[in-house]
Structure 1
Amino acid sequence: AREFGHYGRGQRFQLITMKNHLVITLLSSLFFSLCLSDENVSDEGSCRVLVDAHDRAAMYSRNFIGGRSNRWPNGIVPYTISSNFSSSQRQTIMDSIKHISDRTCVKFVQRTNQANYVDIFTGASGCNANLGYNSGRARSVLHLQSDGCVHLGIIVHELLHILGFAHEQTRPDRDQYVTISWENIRSGTYSNFWRALGENEAVTIPYCGIVGIDQYDNCNAGFRTSTFGMAYDYGSIMHYGLTYFSTNGQNTITLKKSTTARIPNRSGMSDLDVQKTKAAYECQDAATAQTSTTSPEPTSSSLAPAPTTTTAKPCVDTFRYCSYYTSYCGKHSYINQNCKKTCFNCVCENKIADESCTSLKGYCGYSFIRQFCLKGCGKC
């Protein structure tokens, strides 16, 4: 497999913007992603996402959207584990797999004769994994160096790459939440901080690989990713540490909002990591599955009873995490019933002019359109 995203070693991306789309030429050995443990792995080059010719073909055709187009079919991931791991290391890998499958509908199954599968093996080349499923690849790889990578948080991080997810701080909306200090970033590693394009974002800014550092605040990373309507998550297991790739010990990432989250989190999936995975894989239990922290998922037992009166009920949310589930408004009966204020679902009416909703009917697949055009989209 070849590596994606680290711009250097005399090789580069080329990007041509033609009629509002990207044609990306990826050449040879480049690496994109970092999954450092704050206590076990210290070399930036040891953890990366691998992108091969099959992924490049998808990018050429504009069909590659991180977290969406590279999902494993039916949420089933066949895997093999190398016999070169010790029994305790193998148990840690199994615990990491269970960590994800217990919290989502994604199922990891031991490979029998499946053509497409994940080969979990060890060697001396750090922690790295392919970025999601690709039908042409057959064998996807997840490499774990035995003396630095076989820890639950790192393995879960790598498994989420296998499931199709990139890093949190490359999200299209990241500039609302973090500031990137380009002057503090080690030369040759800038691409680790380039911003991804949104799933449906028009290409109005240049590809970062063809501009200088002075324009890195206003360029794109050359790939698209989906947020699935979830809020930015400082506590994501996919978020960089604040000094990763620093050339001088100063922050490369500065937060724009206060948080109590540990950054980087390498202890387990955050609530939003769980929700994003369930949204990506269209889990039927998206509102009821177990989470890895103390914040509850939407279940009937976690709700305070809705107020009962002899008059019309007030327009309120009866589930405290409705703001995380806006993408389910008009799609999930539990969210429609218990997030009425967030989903504008107290009265069956459009929240903008009826004629506007009529003209937008073809866009009812978008959650924000459904929120404002509940009646027009036939969602109440």
Structure 2
Amino acid sequence: MMRSLLALCFLVLAVAVVSAEDEEMSMPGRQIDELQLSDAEREALDLQLMRARNNPELNPDLYQGDIMLTDEQRKALEERKVMNDSSYWWPKAADGYVNVNYRFAAPSINQTMVRRAISSWETNTCIRFHEITSADGKPHLIFQDNNSGCNSNIGRIYFWNGQPVNLAPGCLTLLGIPVHEIGHAMGFNHEQSRSDRDDYVIVMFGNILTSMASNFDKRGTINFGVPYDYSSVMHYDSYAFTSNGNETLIAKNPYGQLFMGQRDGFSFMDKRIANLQYNCTAVYLRNCGATTDPCQNYGYYGPNCKCECPPGTSGTNCEILIKPYLDALVSTKSNNSRTITTEGVVTSPGYPAPIASVDEYIQIITAPACKKVRLTFTAFGLISRASASDNSCYFQQLIVRRSDILASQPYCGTEILSGQVFESVGNRMVLHFISRLNWVRPGYSATITFVQDQTSPNCTSTTSASTSTTTSTTTTRTTTTSTTTKPTTATPTTTKPTTTTPTTTTTSKPTTTTTKSTERTTTKPTTTTTKPTTTTTKPTTTTTKPTTTITIRTTTTTTKPTTTTIKPTTTKPIKVNNGRK
């Protein structure tokens, strides 16, 4: 009786533990409203959800979501003409500076954030902004909120009442948004519209709203030799105009995915191209009493009379290149981005402890040549899809990209099962992890193994008893070894001295054979003379005497087998195998 009670207690305890574990794993399904958050945290989350659901920079009624066009610009686009963009740049004054007047349409707009954006432009370029209080009939910017999102014209456009820069409340939460819209007004296009963008990103048109596909058109742009910049404040984010919650832009360099759409402010290359566009270097050189720009590796001479050097370089003139620009940026984004080249276990940071901080990283798993990556998950638990953001994996997600440029849906909650396997296409797999909220979710753990790639045409080696798929040609080397042995006695047969007829070569399917030595002997007193055999290798003539064994080794993989018939003896035909099994 006592044993039965103990067994029952253990059973109840086990059920309770399992139930607790099930409840823990189902916790990601709880709605965000149930989280224990402060008012400030809840407000921040509401704002993030609003931007995820309705990005104010993506107005479907405007060109590329946030660009207002004049009739001339629209006509040029319709006729597929490359506009002379420099005609829309703001004019330089006699001292080399560029002067731009501006005013606010109403005091209700967040002037503090707008002034911060203006200050960023003035600090990093030779453009100077001057506030006016009313329309003066001259070109100027007017910052306003007309509830149309975040948008601006491209370049300097004359409106008697001012050139509008629309900034709705959601547009003034990040410094980079007003910096971006002012950039349009200064003549900047979107980075992904560059004429060379196809070398750097893939546009996933299958994931884009059909009516918005034209927003991803390329334009003739003046780039001043500045390389494509994933981190530009003028770049779309990777989900722009998505129709299904999946990415619309894929970076050909996987690390570039980390930076597309950043709105923290200017990137280094943004500052460089702005200074080149308005020839600010000439102003700085004159002010500093210098005559030439000594800066290297995309550095530029700045207002502080010294070279402004890009990430990944050092030295007075940026002459020391430490690492490529993008690689240097990666280390500033997250300590968890890395390349993995060995088998083992990969986990979210601190697993199985809860994810402790907001983070985003890229991990590139690279297998040896002719191998592919097999990723087997042993655990997976993130915050589930949020109904408030169109049921997307907004707060936490893991994207498993089976190749560098193959799009994949985000996974969250418990959508990846224990034991679920992903295999790469080619020898690389990319893991892209995003956590916009640090909350009690354990993360993930998976095992990396490298397996033979049977799909690559350069790695396939399919063999069978009678077929070889090898088509390459190698040089045959023939090694002849002579040894003296005692005469051997054959099994009882009736033999007469005979001379073999020439060998007959028949056509057959190639066979894959292992390299082996073939021993030929004759019985007393028979003497056999073998004439040269016709093969794809260099003909070899071998005369066999009773006490001599000839060993032929071949390493070719393309020699077709030949069948040699020796008459009139009753022995089986000799098959010479030329190939590697």
Same fold, judged at TM 0.5 (above): yes
Distance apart, 1:93 and its partner CA: 0.6
Given residue 207 of structure 2, which amino acid in structure 1 is its aligned partner?
N
Distance 1:100 1:142 in 2: 15
Q: Distance in 2 between matches of 1:184 and 1:290?
A: 44
Distance in 1 of aligned mates of 2:161 and 2:91? 13
- The 5 Å alignment of 1:38-187 reads 41=51, 42-43=54-55, 44-45=58-59, 47-53=65-71, 55-56=73-74, 64-66=83-85, 68-74=86-92, 75-86=98-109, 89-111=110-132, 113=136, 115-135=138-158, 139-149=162-172, 151-187=174-210
RMSD of aligned Cα (Å) = 3.3
Aligned 8 A contact 1:174 1:232 in 2? yes
For 1:100 and 1:193, the matched residues in 2 are separated by 27
| 1:159 positional shift | 0.4
- Tell me: CA distance 1:141–1:304, structure 2 relative to 1, closer, same or farther (3 Å): closer
User: In structure 2, which of residues 250, 256, 266 is the aligned counterpart of residue 254 of structure 1?
Assistant: 250
Shift of 1:255: 0.8
Deviations 1:69-113 (A, max 9, x none): 311111221111123325xx1111101100111011111112374
User: Any stretches of 5+ residues in structure 2 without a counterpart?
Assistant: 1-46, 93-97, 285-292, 294-299, 326-581
Task: Return the TM-score normalized by structure 2.
Answer: 0.38
The 1:61/1:125 distance shift into structure 2, 3 A limit, reads: closer
Deviation at 1:124? 1.3
> 8 Å contact 1:126–1:149 — kept in the other structure?
no
Q: 2:192 & 2:161 partners in 1: Cα distance? A: 29
Q: Residues 145 and 279 of structure 1: is their aligned pair in 2 closer, same or farther, counting only changes over 3 Å?
A: same
Instruction: Work out which of the residue numbers 255, 261, 266 in structure 2 matches 1:264.
Output: 261
Distance in 2 of aligned mates of 1:104 and 1:135: 23
How many residues are paired up? 241
Q: Does 1:289 align with 2:307?
A: no
Are 1:276 and 2:277 matched, yes or no?
no
Please give the secondary structure, in 1, of the residue aligned with 2:116: helix
Whole-Å separation in 2 of the counterparts to 1:138 and 1:119: 8
Deviation of 1:239 (Å): 0.8
1:61 to 1:252, Cα distance in 2 relative to 1, 3 A:
closer
More strand by share: 2
Per-residue deviation, 1:65: 3.3
Distance 2:48 2:179 in 1: 15
Instruction: Determine which structure has greater relative contact order: mean sequence separation of CA pairs < 8 Å that are 6+ residues apart, divided by chain length.
Output: 1
Report whether the alignment pairs 1:225 with 2:239.
no
Task: Give the partner amino acid of 1:70.
Answer: Y
| TM-score, length of structure 1 as denominator length | 0.56
On the 8 A contact 2:233/2:270 being kept in 1, the answer is yes
**Residue pairs, 1:279-318, within 5 angstroms:** 279-283=276-280, 284=282, 285=284, 287-289=300-302, 296-297=308-309, 303-304=315-316, 318=319
Output the amino acid matched with 2:237: G
- Residue 245 of structure 1 aligns with an amino acid whose one-letter code is F
Identical pairs, percent: 28
Q: Distance in 2 between matches of 1:38 and 1:240?
A: 17
CA distance in 2, matches of 1:156, 1:119: 15
Q: Which structure has the larger Rg?
A: 2
Classify the secondary structure of the residue corresponding to 1:188.
helix
Tell me how far 1:145 sits from its aligned partner.
1.0
